[in-house]
A and B are shown apart, each in its own frame.
Chain A
Amino acid sequence: DAGVIQSPRHEVTEMGQEVTLRCKPISGHNSLFWYRQTMMRGLELLIYFNNNVPIDDSGMPEDRFSAKMPNASFSTLKIQPSEPRDSAVYFCASSPTGNSPLHFGNGTRLTVT
């Protein structure tokens, strides 16, 4: 079991650029979550997918953020245009069902200058 795989591990970009973060959940897991971690706000849920369908995106901060899950083995989180306040660690997590233990990827550390 390779676990949840995220890429890239680190991303440094300039304000205004588009950023795409990628996630491969654990095979067979039906639920996928994107979280953001900052010093000020801790770990926040951004969006939750179940069976590839977005169920709750109320945590997405604004229209600059979008997420997709085109199939059961891949999800993306896109920020366009990026801003310095988007700098954070973004985690992807998956679970067999919506109420099972969550398994987290290693995160993507995003720095927007």
Chain B
Amino acid sequence: GIQVEQSPPDLILQEGANSTLRCNFSDSVNNLQWFHQNPWGQLINLFYIPSGTKQNGRLSATTVATERYSLLYISSSQTTDSGVYFCAVVSSNDYKLSFGAGTTVTVRA
């Protein structure tokens, strides 16, 4: 099956800092989503972004499908941004959403 690698595995930020999370995948994809799992365990949809660039407030994402990677940008981080960020993909010949191992983000006040 498709492989999904996220980096870095852990990230500690001071409030107000900017950061970039990366997701590499091993095959062409029809679907790519970024999720935030908050400290209560909820999986929150951030972006559906199989290609291109999207922005939502302080968050933005870019997927370069031809080079098989996606980036999630967090600007002016806040303590509420803490949690685990997952990248998940569906390969072009499949329907299963396969998850990366996640990046654990800790934002300190």
Contact = CB atoms under 8 A, between A and B. Distances in A.
Query: Chain B contact residues (Cβ within 8 angstroms of A): what range?
Result: 10 to 19
B30 A101 contact: no
Interface string A3-34: 00000000000000000000000000001010
Given A42-B101, A48-B95, A101-B31, 11 more contacts: A31-B95, A42-B102, A45-B97, A48-B96, A99-B90, A99-B95, A100-B48, A101-B45, A104-B42, A104-B43, A107-B42
A53 interface: no
- A interface secondary structure, majority: strand
Contact of B86 (A43, A55, A56, A89): A43
Nearest to B101: A42
Contacts of B25: none
Interface string A75-112: 00000000000000101010000111111101101000
Interface of A: 31, 33, 42-43, 45, 48, 55-56, 89, 91, 93, 98-104, 106-107, 109
Contacts of A89: 41
A103 B43 CA distance: 8
B97 A33 contact: yes
A98 B31 CA distance: 10
A109 B41 contact: yes
A5 B67 CA distance: 37
B33 interface: yes
Nearest to A9: B41
Interface string B86-109: 101010000111110110000000
Given A42-B102, A43-B86, A102 B41 contact: no
Contacts of B45: 101-104
The 5 A-B residue pairs with the shortest CB-CB distance in the complex, in nearest-first order: A101-B48, A98-B95, A104-B43, A43-B99, A99-B30
Nearest to B42: A106
A106 B31 contact: no
